[in-house]
Structure 1
Amino acid sequence: MASSFDLVAINCNAFNSNTLNESLPQLDYSLNDTYKVVAGSLVFLLILPFVLFEFSCFPIGASSAILLGAVLMVATTVLSQGDFYDIIGEDGNMRTIFLLLGMMIISQYFEREQIIQTLINKVLKKDISFPSYLWRVTMLSFFVAALFTNDAACVILTPLILKHWCSQERSSVELETLLLSISTSANLGSVITIFGNPQIALIASTTENTVYLKSQLNLKRSVTYLGIPAILGYLLNLAFLIVHSRLNASTSCCAQQVPVAEEVHGVLPSEKDERGSSRVFFLLPPLLLVIMLVLLFVKTDELRFDMGILPMAASALIMAADVALNKTNPSHLIMKVDWNVILMFFGIFVWLGGVNATRVPRYVWKAIGLAGRPIDDAKSIAIFAVFVIFGSNVFSNVPLTIIILEQLQPCANQLDFVLYLAWCSTIAGNLTLFGSVANIIVAQKAKQTLNVSLTFGAFFKYGFITTLIITTQGIFVIYGLLQI
């Protein structure tokens, strides 16, 4: 993040307050000079449509568009060339990259060893009722997302579950609800852990900075404060999905089956990778994942485990063990990592660093009445929640999170700010099809696997009211937990 003052130079020991007050170092809410405001805003508005939508006349794609936006921020001198490297090399940004990369590599081994596929075969029995089928699917999606990010969960689970569902020749009336269950449950589960989704990883890595330690979101706090509302949200979502399936069944004139023959060949690229020959290695990825979770959970100020280095260390140990036990070169699995996402994050840090350098986001933050005040009353919480939920669906949740994190006050205790941001930006993904990359992945995999479409209208029809209800209950629960 681009700050208006040097965070490294701030000594929080000079400030005794745990809350926001005038004695703390103050953020600059004034606009930057006119040229930077105009140039930075124009670059942002020029690139944003290509991030959110695909244009057949200029199919640049989101990642390439964001990288172009980063270049333009430097080319227009909104950011200097030195700023470019400073932003890329910031501890919080690199920590986020290493966290996501480490978890992506670990998830590839879970996929190759068919650990999750084995679990699906055991859990999703034939001839069970659809409500029973639903809670098993949602539970799988919920917990896999918490461990491997919502995007990775949807990449792995969607084709596996659809293939399994299709092989059982279940009614096609179930399909829309099934797709909604995978994506919405993945988004809900991802809020529990600090590596559950990219925006939570950003929040956690940013608040690891010493000037934000009073507001730090670590694994223990995410499980404690976000776990309970996530579980309650999961139960609410499951109830809504069951109602959705019954409404679909009652309005459908017939219940057809989707034949297995309609599957697209090659839907499971992981099947091209042979499982390791060592039975000992099969147990190693889950074991190292558990050890990593324990170390992150018990982390204290005296006993520190970096949330970026630890996943990379775990993935390196798994790769070394794979070479030693299975005599397998890990380069093929490394190539299967979604490098498109990694490149996108490098670009997005700089592109939005330029936006923050204009100080327009801070100016807007002050205009809506959230500057320099705790988010602890009904009015401020409501304004904050509405801003984050709808902003996440207009600008996407990761860009909005980067912009909002720039408003975090150094040395102050703003844990409420951090928790509400983590909760609202994540659950906002269930509002529309474009609210989360995980939703788009499910829609794409459904098209590739069974040639069926999950439309924007169908998703919005389900997601609008349910997201507002689940978000509201979570805010109430988080507020209550903060009072204890």
Structure 2
Amino acid sequence: MTTTILAIFALVYLGMILGGLPFLQLDRTGVALLGAIALISLDAVSLQDAVAAVHLPTVILLFSFMVVSAQMRLGGFYSWATRGMANLPVSPPWLLGLLILMSGALSAVFSNDIVCLAVAPILAEACIRRQLNPVPFLLGLACAANIGSAATLIGNPQNILIGQTLQLSFAGYLQQAMLPVLLGLAACWAIICWQSRGNWQSSAPLPATPQLRSSDEQALDRWQSLKGLAVAAALLGLFLFSPLPHEQLALTGAGLLLMSRKLHSARMLGLVDWEVLVLFAGLFVVNHALQGTGLPATAVAWLAAQGVQLSEPWTLFGATFVLSNIISNVPAVMLLLPVASHELAGSMLALVSTMAGNLLIVGSIANILVVDAAARHGIQIDWRRHARVGIPVTLATLLICAAIFALRL
């Protein structure tokens, strides 16, 4: 049975690397789900053990903040904030700076993927109207959303997983992450400004001003937006100062928002990213099965005998960066969590896995969402154009993180 489990694990993580499996219409979520189904069907994992393997607090917290983000999107807050920022009479470098601050701050609370999904179409349309080259701004949005999401334990799925699994202090992590995130946002702004100097207006003809889809822009509903902001602010306050379990608090907040006289629950739940939740569940089951074979512990012991201590901070730093760009950050974090024993391991995993997502387009769902939104507006951002920004931003932010961790160690 160990051979069967190892084969299924290898196929699932091959799917994480390739984004699917050859000859099958499966994405990463489909591969993870199929792997969990295969393990249960072959009795490699019992149904009871599979259910127990899913870390419910992580899934509940992730789901709850998806509901909060859905409230903000349906209330038109993201569209209103983006359009207001884009219409300010400031120079392009200052506009980029405001965009980076806004997207970084929003991503720290409402998830980088949701922010990019909501902001990118409005931003592309606003840049075209102002006859600005939209590419630096769209790349700034993607990079800043990834960097900003590292500021808290609710900014992205991998941070939620790390915080819940390692029982990290919300306030303690915020203190550790704030400086590298702020410096990272500043570095992102400086790099894009330096690359775009003299080229803020596009040399090529811009596409015609597009008609936004109804799903791209929502009219501002002040009451619904205020409800979402109030719940988010209350949750942040409770996370900082209350000992109550975060998942219970967040679920309560989501329940309050679902009790609406105007926004139907079907619309709210329709904006929940169920695929991410299924991806988590599938990977939990697959990783649990592998852990049960004892092979990961044997591999870690073998590496230690060769002088490679994965629990050592700098080895963990490098392994997180490499794995995050091979199999994506959530699967990488799941693999490395069992060796995260150092007192700084949790913050290192969260910061490095998130910053690494800027390297290439496929390194983060947020990058893909921005590139897809640009393509719908006739703006082409290929992997080379993204890499021109993504690689130096990633190296700069990781260098900042490394310097700060070196001082703390």
What TM-score do the two structures reach when normalised by structure 2?
Answer: 0.91
1:356 paired residue number: 291
Residue pair 1:79, 1:357 contacting (<8 A) in 2 also: no
Asked if 1:288 is matched to 2:231, the reply is: yes
Indicate how the Cα distance of structure 1 residues 167 and 472 shifts in structure 2: closer, same or farther if over 3 A, else same.
Answer: same
In structure 2, distance between residues paired with 1:363 and 1:451: 51
Kept in 2, the 8 Å contact 1:285–1:318? The answer is: yes
Aligned to 2:207: 259
CA contact (8 A) 1:70 1:351 kept: yes
Residue matched to 1:178? 137
Alignment counterpart, residue 242 of structure 1, candidates 193, 210, 213: 193
**Map of 1:386 onto structure 2:** 318
Preserved contact between residue 105 and residue 334 of structure 1 (Cα < 8 Å):
yes
Measure how far apart 1:275 and its partner are: 6.0
Shift of 1:50: 3.3
Contact 1:419–1:478 (Cα < 8 Å) also in 2: no
**Whole-Å Cα distance in 2 between the matches of residues 363 and 157 of structure 1?**
46
Are 2:34 and 1:73 equivalent residues in the alignment?
no
1:270–1:81 CA distance, 2 compared to 1 (3 A)? same
Query: 2:393 and 2:301 mapped to 1: Cα distance?
Result: 30
Given that 2:66 and 2:271 are in contact with CA atoms closer than 8 Å, whether structure 1 keeps it comes out as no
CA 1:270 to 1:242, structure 2 compared with 1: closer, same or farther past 3 Å? closer
Matched, 1:47 2:9: no
Instruction: Provide, for residues 285-314 of structure 1, a one-character-per-residue CA deviation record: whole Å limited to 9, x for no partner.
Output: 211211110010013xxxx22111212211
Q: Secondary structure at the match of 1:415?
A: coil
Residue 269 of structure 1 is matched in structure 2 by 215
2:402 aligned residue: 475
Conserved 8 A contact 2:180-2:401: yes
Could you tell me whether the CA contact under 8 Å between 1:169 and 1:259 is conserved in 2? no
Gap change, CA 1:459 and 1:359, over 3 Å in 2: farther
Equivalence map 1:50-449=2 (5 Å) = 50-51=15-16, 52-54=18-20, 57-88=23-54, 93-125=55-87, 128-170=90-132, 174-208=133-167, 217-246=168-197, 249=199, 255-261=203-209, 263=210, 266=213, 268-269=214-215, 271=217, 280-299=223-242, 304-320=243-259, 322-323=260-261, 326=262, 328-369=263-304, 380-409=312-341, 414-448=342-376
Assess if the C-alpha contact under 8 Å between 2:128 and 2:134 holds in 1.
no
Letter in 2 for 1:392: S
More RCO (CA 8 Å, sep 6+): 1
Asked which structure has the greater CA Rg, the reply is: 1
- Deviation larger for 43-52 or 289-298: 43-52
Residue 231 of structure 2 aligns to which amino acid in structure 1?
Answer: L
CA–CA separation in structure 1 for the residues paired with 2:295 and 2:361: 28
Gaps of 5+ in 2: none
Deviation of 1:142 after TM superposition, in Å, equals 0.3
Change (3 A) 1:55 1:372: closer
Q: Which has the higher helix share?
A: 2
Question: Please, what is the CA RMSD of the aligned residues?
Answer: 2.6
- Contact 2:107 2:146 (C-alpha < 8 Å) held by counterparts: yes
Is the Cα contact below 8 Å between 1:146 and 1:195 reproduced in 2? yes
Q: Which residue type is aligned with residue 458 of structure 1?
A: R
Q: Which moved more, 1:96-105 or 1:279-288?
A: 279-288
Match of 1:31 in 2: none
Q: 1:119 to 1:360 in 2, by over 3 A?
A: same
Partner Cα distance (2:117, 2:294) in 1: 37
Shift of 1:456: 2.1
TM-score (norm 1): 0.77
Q: Secondary structure at the match of 1:256?
A: coil
Alignment-mate amino acid for residue 256 of structure 2: L
